[in-house]
């Protein structure tokens, strides 16, 4: 299926050319000092049923299976307790959801990064059949994210950015070795995450004003710049979060859905 992008694609002649452009954006700051532009790399554009490019949250990409959806919903609704139990101190619910997302569990959030090399590495990361030479990086302008509006009888369309500047483990106890710290992780989250509807798509028409899309030829990069981004080796946060998730699942007495069981065991 051919994919139609709702955004114009700015084509760059090389990996280095796009990296230079993104690094210039990285330097921009919001009035409060936060980074203005964030990034997400994709090896391909993913179509929805109508052939339109989409970037949906992992929770909203789940198959139509009531057991799987229900278990994933329960997990992310209890993320604050689960991640708090693994850390030994309280974290916000949104921060906890971001942690679970970075360890592959389905949530309504969408991962992005503040570091251009990380986004480019994810864009380069797939070697599966059918991946073309053209790779893609979305740029998110946080100054233009939806912050309300819409009809009076509808939920306001609000998207927030959750950063990962907190640590779920002390620095001297593996905090800086966590995968989501290596990825310089942020998460985009919709205001309606507690209810799980509607589906959160980064390419929702109301999001497009905050986005731009860039591409570059993969063969202009000599190799992956950050090949260990997905590794959980020496990641003490992963070990503790995994143990807390497994304890929570066991306490529910579930017959765990096979898809979900595999994710839980791999943390």
pLDDT in tens, 43-95: 999 999 899 999 999 999 998 899 999 999 999 999 999 999 888 888 899 98
Q: What share of the chain has pLDDT > 70, as a percent? A: 91
Q: Is the pLDDT of residue 249 over 80?
A: yes
Q: Is the pLDDT of residue 143 over 80?
A: yes
- How large is the average pLDDT for residues 89-109? 90
pLDDT in tens, 183-227: 888 999 999 999 988 899 999 999 999 999 999 999 999 877 676
Q: Is the pLDDT of residue 34 over 80?
A: yes
With vertex at residue 81, the alpha carbon angle to CA 79 and CA 85, rounded to the nearest 5 degrees, is 115
Interior/surface letters 173-200, b for 16+ CB within 10 angstroms, e for the rest: ebbebbbbbbbbbbbbbbbebeebeeeb
How many alpha carbons fall within 13 Å on the CB side of residue 96? 23
pLDDT in tens, 112-136: 999 999 999 999 976 555 678 999 9
Q: Is the pLDDT of residue 257 over 60?
A: yes
Query: In Å, how far from its chain's centre is CA 134?
Result: 21
Which tops the pLDDT comparison, 3 or 237? 3
Neighbours of 124 (CB within 10 A): 21
The whole-model pTM stands at: 0.91
Per-residue H/E/C for the chain: CCCECCCCEEECCCHHHHHHHHHHHHCCECCCCCECEEEEEECCCCECCCCEECCECCHHHCCCCHHHHHHHHHHHHCHHHHHHHHHCCCCCHHHHHHHHHHCCCCCCCEEEECCHHHHHHHHHCCCCCCCCCEEEEEEEEHHHCCECCCCCCCCCCEEEEEECCCCCCCHHHCHHHCHHHHCCEEEEEECCCCCCCCCCECCCHHHHHHEEEEEEEHHHCCCCCCCCCCCCCCCHHHHHHHHHHHHHHHHHCCCCCHHHHHHHHHC
Closest CA to 267 of 180, 145, 162: 180
Whether residue 169 contacts residue 237, with contact meaning beta carbons closer than 8 Å, is answered with yes
Whether residue 75 contacts residue 99, with contact meaning beta carbons closer than 8 Å, is answered with no
- How large is the average pLDDT for residues 10-38? 97
pLDDT in tens, 151-162: 544 568 899 998
pLDDT value of position 155:
67
Closest CA to 38 of 162, 190, 199: 162
Q: Is the pLDDT of residue 23 over 80?
A: yes
Q: Identify the weakest region by mean pLDDT among 96-100, 161-165, 212-216.
A: 161-165
- Which two structure tokens, joined as six digits, stand for 40? 């997400």
């Amino acid at each position: 299926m051919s994919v139609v992008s709702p955004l114009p694609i700015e084509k760059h002649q090389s990996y280095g050319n796009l990296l230079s452009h993104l690094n210039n954006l990285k330097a921009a700051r919001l009035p409060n000092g936060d980074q203005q532009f964030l990034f997400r790399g994709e090896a391909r554009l993913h179509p929805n049923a109508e052939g339109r490019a989409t970037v949906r949250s992992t929770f909203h990409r789940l198959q139509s299976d009531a057991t799987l959806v229900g278990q994933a919903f329960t997990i992310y609704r209890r993320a604050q307790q689960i991640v708090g139990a693994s850390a030994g101190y309280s974290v916000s619910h949104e921060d906890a959801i971001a942690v679970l997302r970075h360890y592959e569990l389905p949530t309504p959030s969408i991962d992005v990064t503040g570091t251009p090399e990380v986004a480019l590495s994810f864009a380069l990361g797939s070697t599966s059949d059918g991946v073309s030479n053209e790779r893609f990086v979305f740029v998110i302008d946080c100054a233009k994210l939806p912050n309300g509006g819409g009809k009076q009888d509808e939920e306001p369309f609000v998207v927030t950015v959750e950063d990962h500047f907190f640590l779920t483990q002390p620095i001297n106890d593996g905090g800086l070795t966590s995968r989501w710290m290596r990825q310089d992780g942020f998460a985009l989250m919709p205001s309606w995450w507690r209810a799980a509807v509607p589906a959160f798509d980064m390419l929702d028409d109301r999001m497009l004003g905050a986005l731009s899309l860039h591409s570059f030829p993969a063969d202009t990069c000599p190799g992956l710049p950050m090949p260990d981004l997905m590794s959980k080796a020496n990641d003490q946060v992963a070990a503790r979060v995994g143990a807390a998730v497994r304890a929570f699942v066991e306490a529910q007495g579930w017959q765990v859905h096979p898809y979900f069981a595999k994710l839980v065991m791999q943390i």
